[in-house]
Chains A and B, each alone.
Chain A
Amino acid sequence: MPKSMKLLFRISIIAFLLASCAGNKIVKDYKAVPLETTVFEVPYFSNQEIDYVYKANISVYGNELTGIFIAKKINDTTHRIVFTTEFGNKLLDFEISESDYKVNFILEELDRKLLINTLVADFRLLLRSHYTTSNQFDNGEESVYETLDKNKMNYLYVSKTTNKLSKIVHATKRKAKINLYFTSKNDIFADKIIIEHKNIKLKIELNYFNQ
């Protein structure tokens, strides 16, 4: 084998090893298992009859913002999202579907393209109810469904004992971008939700309140 060929061969092996190490970091502690289902439905914001009302605490780069977060599914494809202060004055009012969004109202001080895009992406992830799964992983306690989301992935963590969705990780193959944690007692709505960004200092905490 000529020298150059040997070098190429070595590089290929190293590259292959590196690539397989890098593999899938998100589910590295889970083992791949055969896919049990190709669809996964999230119940938490899917009922058109329910007004989903939460006390919201938003922490963004050290600043705290609190208020009331309201979501309602208004038709098959679209949710209406409103965020108000505790006094009731509206800070933002969006309509969001998987492919589109409309700003009905936003306070001038918050009217920044970057902020709107971030929030729309977060809310879309929060509200999405239908997923097509492509791979499945398991660690004995949880099943994880891998689903494709444009050029990224969503990993859905489902407890094997309660069969409830407890976490969504929005990620590339290597790195988590956004983590969503759900606590649900009844499987109809989530009592508590945390949306945590990994690359920007943004955390949204939502606590359901009964009326």
Chain B
Amino acid sequence: MKTKIFIIVFFLNVCQFQSWSQEQKMSDGEITAFKQSVAVVSKKIKTLSTDFVQYKHLDFLSKDIETSGKMIFKEPYSLLWQYKKPYNYSIVFKNGKILINDEGKKSAVDIGSSKLFGKINKLIVGSVSGDLFDDKEFSISYFKNKEQNIAKFIPKDATLKKYIKQIDLTFDKEDATVIQVKLLESSADYTRIVLKNKVINAKVDEASFSN
């Protein structure tokens, strides 16, 4: 009897949750079409710059921790991730090196052969450009709501799994670009990054990545 009640309550909760978020699973046809449209857009991306707002959610805090800044990407692997508020901190991935500028204090890490950092770099670039659909690296599931498509990635790599439980990429249905990246940890805590004022293929100066 108890088990039955539990099962009913459980399913009621799940149903409720689904109706709240209004997220539906995509059909196989929708998945193919969605992947194609993202591939077309991400293939065109030679440079990308965007503002972002990062919300760190920790369940025990009364408010998410908000930081914001700018991101610039240039093919094939140059990446600047720059926090401007409430502090100045920027990190550049370029030619197998990580350059850090922490309020004017500079440091560099040679990551040449580090597989993990290679993966993280690919992950950040892939998350922002939408080019993350690698079945070898992730188990991927696809959802949609009225205005957005959502792809959920669960890492297969044991090392990566230690850092990230799941990545949710939210795409604008209109232009098939990423508007939100959500990194879930193995608890109720997550980091949500909202991308705004995106500019694709504008001229990007190499000096942007000197840090």
Contact = CB atoms under 8 A, between A and B. Distances in A.
Interface of A: 49, 51, 53, 55, 57, 64, 66, 68, 70, 72, 74, 80, 82, 84, 86-90, 104-105, 107-108, 207, 209-211
Given A86-B89, A88-B183, A72 B56 contact: no
Interface string B173-211: 000000000010111010100000000000000000000
B14 to A, nearest CB: 26
B60 to A, nearest CB: 5
A104 B189 CA distance: 12
Q: Which 10 A-B pairs have the closest CB atoms?
A: A88-B191, A209-B86, A88-B56, A51-B61, A55-B87, A80-B60, A86-B89, A211-B66, A66-B102, A53-B65
Given A86-B89, A108-B162, 11 more contacts: A49-B62, A51-B65, A57-B102, A70-B65, A72-B61, A74-B60, A88-B191, A89-B185, A90-B185, A209-B86, A210-B86
Contact of B62 (A51, A82, A86, A107): A51
Interface residues of B, number: 29
30 contacts: A51-B62, A51-B63, A51-B65, A55-B87, A55-B89, A64-B107, A66-B89, A66-B100, A68-B65, A86-B67, A86-B83, A86-B91, A87-B54, A87-B81, A87-B191, A88-B54, A88-B183, A89-B164, A89-B183, A89-B185, A90-B185, A90-B189, A104-B187, A107-B162, A108-B162, A207-B87, A209-B86, A209-B87, A210-B86, A211-B86
A70 B63 CA distance: 12
Nearest to B164: A89
B12 interface: no
Contacts of A53: 65
A59 B159 CA distance: 26
Interface string B90-123: 0100000000101001010000000000000000
B58 interface: yes
Interface string B150-181: 00000000000011100000000000000000
A104 B187 CA distance: 10
Contacts of A57: 102
Nearest to A50: B62
Given A64-B107, A70-B58, A89 B65 contact: no
Contacts of A80: 60
Interface string B45-81: 0000000001010101111011100000000000001
Nearest to B81: A87
Nearest to A86: B89
A71 to B, nearest CB: 10
Which interface residue of A89, A107, A207 has the most chain B CB atoms within 10 A?
A: A89
A108 B86 CA distance: 29
A210 B102 CA distance: 18
A188 to B, nearest CB: 15
Contacts of B63: 51, 211
B11 to A, nearest CB: 30
Contacts of A51: 61-63, 65
A4 B187 CA distance: 73
A49 B61 CA distance: 9
Given A66-B102, A70-B65, A108-B162, A82 B58 contact: yes
Contact of A89 (B61, B91, B105, B191): B191
Given A87-B191, A88-B56, A89-B164, A70 B89 contact: no
